[in-house]
Amino acid sequence: MSNVETICALSTAPGIGGIAVIRVSGPQALEICDKILNKKISTKDSHTANHAWVLVEQEKLDEVVATVFKSPKSFTGEDTVEIACHGSVFIQQKIIEALLYAGAQLAKPGEFTMRAYLNGKMDLSQAEAVADLIASEGAAEHKQALHQMRGGFSKEINTLRDRLIHFASMVELELDFAEEDVEFANRAQLVKLLHEIMGVVNALIESFSLGNALKNGVPVAIIGAPNAGKSTLLNALLNEERAIVSEIAGTTRDTIEDYITLGGIKFKFIDTAGLRTTNDAIEKLGIERAYDKAKSASAILLMFDVNTTSAAELAAMRADVMEQAGQGKHIIVLANKVDHPDFDKANFEKQFADVKHLIFISAKNKLHMAELKEELMNTVNAGRVNSGQTIVTNLRHHEALTKAAQSLNEILIGTENNVSADLLAVDIRKTLYHLGEITGQINADDLLNNIFSKFCIGK
């Protein structure tokens, strides 16, 4: 535990409040608080609330209550002090500054909870997934799917780590026999394993964009000529009159965003300005924004009035959107206004037979909305979400995986260049560390235990 940093952070909501609570946790928590308070709290019993003054450069800054929790009986399992101060932002900042000066580090997001998990205080898979993922309106199935993901994730990481630990112990064993030039860790097997692990790690890293979209709402841009029925569609999906529906072409000048949960997945619909050539400066800006939104969207609903648009016009519009939004975007084409008296089903179906992902709808009469919803679910790989396959949703996990991928690459380069066992061991440890950051700490003891459990080397 000696190299564990002591961390501090504001634990109440940022901003002005009646009081604010700053949490300090780690092996030096009591000692550090002693330095900023006018009395020693390190000598106080656990679970006591102590009146004190915070001193900054010998000056009294604020009158506070410092609650002491001694390890292991605290939220994090470490020595913890919770300083309840008056809720001015200035005071909060000054106290945090004083703590940093006295030797604490600023806590990373979720770090208190992570420590609680690492110290066996709670199940991280629940804590993190719940905190990170479940939007308040999230459906029950959503919650279940997310819960599954997290469980699967830990298991996947642990399996990779265990296999790498095995290699690490072999490589470290070579260090003990350095004089004799033996090779316990078969390099070809190591390379094979590295490729395997990289495959899994990279897939997890990739899944983050989906995970992130799930958390923030999968962005879907609704694009089409003025009067195609974009606002009407949004209203139909939302079941409320939110966007302005009008018969004057070009009314939706800016973008309107709204959230709707389909099958437990949150979508963010973005109604954009109608696409057309215009000299109106404001409208031009709106159209530019529409393309920007399309670029960052996961899916695009390209909408047209089926009664007034030819197949050639649609093809041109589709090509334009693809060019602006980037290749590989999932475009769902919506032939709107099938309720119109001019609509001739057989004829139109023939006319647009070549168009992929085309759905005939009536936004006004809410016809074929189920097909549209199904198509939307396909765009986010809903199958993957509901099958319980691992999706990384947490930024910290994503960062750890990215670092693990980098160090894996270093091991690979090292192995290819026949670097010495000690250098290899360092890189393997780095990877283990980053993987361990996700599920739990790893230390040298794990390696030693592994060596001694597998080998009788007569020591």
Between 138 and 274, whose beta carbon lies closer to ligand GDP? 274
Q: Which stretch binds ligand GDP (CB under 6 A): 49-57, 58-66, 245-253, 292-300?
A: 245-253
366 binds ligand GDP (CB under 6 A): no
Rounded CA separation 314/256 (Å): 24
40 binds ligand GDP (CB under 6 A): no
Residues 309-348 that bind ligand GDP (CB under 6 A): 336-337, 339-340
Q: Which residue has the tokens 């964009």?
A: 209
- One-letter amino acid identity for 197? I
Choose, by CB under 6 A, the member of 99, 228, 270, 392 that binds ligand GDP.
228
Choose, by CB under 6 A, the member of 217, 226, 264, 436 that binds ligand GDP.
226
CB 206 within 8 A of CB 405: no
* Dihedral (Cα; 401, 402, 405, 410), 10-degree rounding: -130
What residues contact residue 207 under an 8 Å CB cut-off, 6+ apart?
Answer: 384, 389, 390, 391, 392
Between 174 and 271, whose beta carbon lies closer to ligand GDP? 271
364 binds ligand GDP (CB under 6 A): yes
> Which of 296, 128, 136 shows the shortest CA–CA distance to 213?
296
Strand order in the sheet with 59-69: 48-56, 59-69, 80-86, 19-25, 7-10, 105-106
400 binds ligand GDP (CB under 6 A): no
Residues 101-140 that bind ligand GDP (CB under 6 A): none
Q: For 257-261, which contacts have Cβ atoms below 8 Å and span 24 or more sequence positions?
A: 258/234, 259/137, 259/217, 261/137, 261/138, 261/139, 261/142
Between 94 and 253, whose beta carbon lies closer to ligand GDP? 253
To ligand GDP, the closest distance from the beta carbon of 18 in angstroms equals: 47
Give the 3-state secondary structure of residue 166: helix
CB 204 within 8 A of CB 399: no
Between 272 and 450, whose beta carbon lies closer to ligand GDP? 272
Residues 56-75 that bind ligand GDP (CB under 6 A): none
Q: Which residue has the tokens 């879907």?
A: 220
- Judged by CB under 6 A, the number of residues near ligand GDP is 20
Between 227 and 393, whose beta carbon lies closer to ligand GDP? 227
Q: Which residue has the tokens 């394993």?
A: 193
Choose, by CB under 6 A, the member of 77, 264, 274, 436 that binds ligand GDP.
274
To ligand GDP, the closest distance from the beta carbon of 263 in angstroms equals: 24
To ligand GDP, the closest distance from the beta carbon of 216 in angstroms equals: 24
Sign of the dihedral defined by the CA atoms of residues 285, 289, 291, 292, in that order: positive
445 binds ligand GDP (CB under 6 A): no
Between 8 and 376, whose beta carbon lies closer to ligand GDP? 376
Choose, by CB under 6 A, the member of 55, 135, 238, 245 that binds ligand GDP.
245
Give the 3-state secondary structure of residue 81: strand
Choose, by CB under 6 A, the member of 230, 293, 398, 429 that binds ligand GDP.
230
> Residue ranges of the alpha helices (H) in 138-262?
140-176, 187-216, 230-238
**Binding mask 252-271 vs ligand GDP (x if CB under 6 A, - otherwise)?**
x-------------------
To ligand GDP, the closest distance from the beta carbon of 72 in angstroms equals: 60
Q: Which stretch binds ligand GDP (CB under 6 A): 7-15, 208-216, 223-231, 310-318?
A: 223-231
Q: Which residues bind ligand GDP (CB under 6 A)?
A: 224, 226-232, 245-247, 252, 274, 336-337, 339-340, 362-364
